[in-house]
Amino acid sequence: MDADDWQPARLIPVSGISGADEQERRGVSALLAVLSSVREFGRAITSQLGAPAGPISTYIEVPFQLGDRTVRPDGLIQVIRGKQTWTALVEVKTGRNDLQPAQLTDYVDVARENSFAVVLTISNQLATAPGEHPTAIDRKKLRKVSLHHLSWSQIHTEAVIERVNRAVADPDQAWILAELIRYLEHERSGAVDFDDMGPSWVSVRDSAKDRTLRSTDKGAGEVVAKFGQLTSFAGMRLSRRLGVAVQPVLSRAQLNDLGAFTQAGVSRLVEHGTLQGALKVPDTVAPIEVTADLRSGLVTCAITVAAPTQGRATTRINWLLRQLTKAPDAVQLEALAAWARTPGPCMTIADVRRRPDGLISDPSKDLRTFTVKLSAVAGTKRGQQRGSFVGSVLGLVDNFYEAVVQHIKPWTAPAPSVPARTPEDTGVTAADQISGELPLKSVQRAASPPEWNPPEQPADDAADSVMYAVETVAPNERTRDASGEDLSERALNSDRDG
């Protein structure tokens, strides 16, 4: 009997899943059970929702009365800290099923009536930007209730990060988390990664290439949103490999006005035929810029590095080359000089290694920044199979980080060095008698202050002499007559009258 063919027992089995309803019930039950059992993973998820730290309790299919109807959210999460109780309703979708606005509106109403803090949705839909929800509902209903969304890819990524970093202290809890990861990675779980640019991809791609795309075309905004989701998913893939959270880069203004951000992306696609995104990996020198040029059929990853502020131009170039010894020859380098209004020379790293001065357009100007980039042919297919656009972007991001980004460290100025001194050097220059040091406090105490002598009294004025003599006689030594008059005073007065 061959035991290799036996199926091992699993904490969260995938057998018996026959449809979308069973996928949702098993998925939400497994997830919520692990949230309450694995303390570190539960805190990592609930902290994103604004929950306080504390014991987590989870429930499934809790009934609530809404008017004359009974609604049952898929789950409920509750955190108690002291006298504070934080509660979130959970709605889950699996497979290709999307969230329904009417259903979410009911759950928001239930949360508002019961003073719950959050409504959490979980599905395979990805948000275009951090903080955005993939389903539009009336914002007036969200004044007292927060609406959050997590994709199954995000949950899977967070679980993998906890496992890669060995963040779960208890070995039994770590095994439970591993069982959840195995379940989510099984094809029957209903959790899938981003793998499709949408039904409008082919027509928008061809129109952008032919320069016939217009900003009013309905599919343009959909493709821009899909590329934002693809950028986010590329960050999740890197997070799983690196064990850190890789996030899309958006400015504060873009986060505050996501509609304007999407419209700017549509205008860029119409005018230049490009899709753009950026990813920030913690502790790296700069964000990774991802650009897809639909007209040239190329995908490019680039990073802009500040050049050293000291040394000659060739010294600054060699500083970068020493960090890119393992970079492929196809990597391109571009140098930008100070006060330059146009991009500088651009060469492959193989050519720069042979002739570093080729990046110098004007020897009299300092080099301020270097742009390192790598390009690949963009796939044309819609899905994630071989030769697809999604696969080409994901592969390039992974390769660019591994070959380039992780090796570049920011330049730091060397520490000031003490000048060498010869035995004859006393530190005092003969020209100005300056040593650069103040005297020590002990030396100051040892130095005696100059002696003070009072000025001599002039002897030519007799009256002043007599007065000086009288003033120096002590009061008890003065001579007085029978009437008590001071004889010294009487003699002084007679001398003045005479």
Angle ∠(77,129,114) on CA atoms, nearest 5 = 30
pLDDT tens digits, one per residue of 55-65: 999 999 999 99
Same domain for 342 and 480: no
First-to-last alpha carbon distance for the chain, in angstroms, is 151
Same domain for 166 and 58: yes
Residue 471 falls inside a structural domain: yes
Residue 353 falls inside a structural domain: yes
DSSP summary character for residue 388 = B
Amino acid letter, 27: G
* Helix, strand, coil distribution of the chain in percent, nearest 5: 40, 15, 40
Place of tokens 């030769």: 387
Residue 473 falls inside a structural domain: yes
Residue 175 falls inside a structural domain: yes
Q: What is the mean pLDDT of the chain?
A: 85
Edge-first strand listing for the sheet containing 367-377: 247-248, 274-280, 288-293, 298-306, 367-377, 332-337, 346-348
Q: Which domain holds residue 481?
A: 462-497
What per-residue confidence (pLDDT) applies to 470? 44
Sorting pLDDT into bands at 50, 70 and 90, what band is 34? very high
Q: 69-71 and 247-248: which strand pairing?
A: unpaired
Where a domain ends, among 407, 422, 441?
407
What per-residue confidence (pLDDT) applies to 402? 94
Min mean pLDDT across 299-303, 305-309, 412-416 is at 412-416
Rounded to an integer, the average pLDDT of 345-366 is 88
For 41-67, give one letter per residue: b (16+ CB within 10 A) or e.
bbbbbbeebebeebebebebebebeee
Same domain for 182 and 119: yes
Rounded to an integer, the average pLDDT of 475-495 is 53
Res. 472: pLDDT tops 50: no
pLDDT tens digits, one per residue of 178-218: 999 999 999 889 888 888 888 899 999 999 999 999 988 88
Same domain for 401 and 490: no
Res. 79: pLDDT tops 90: yes
Same domain for 403 and 467: no
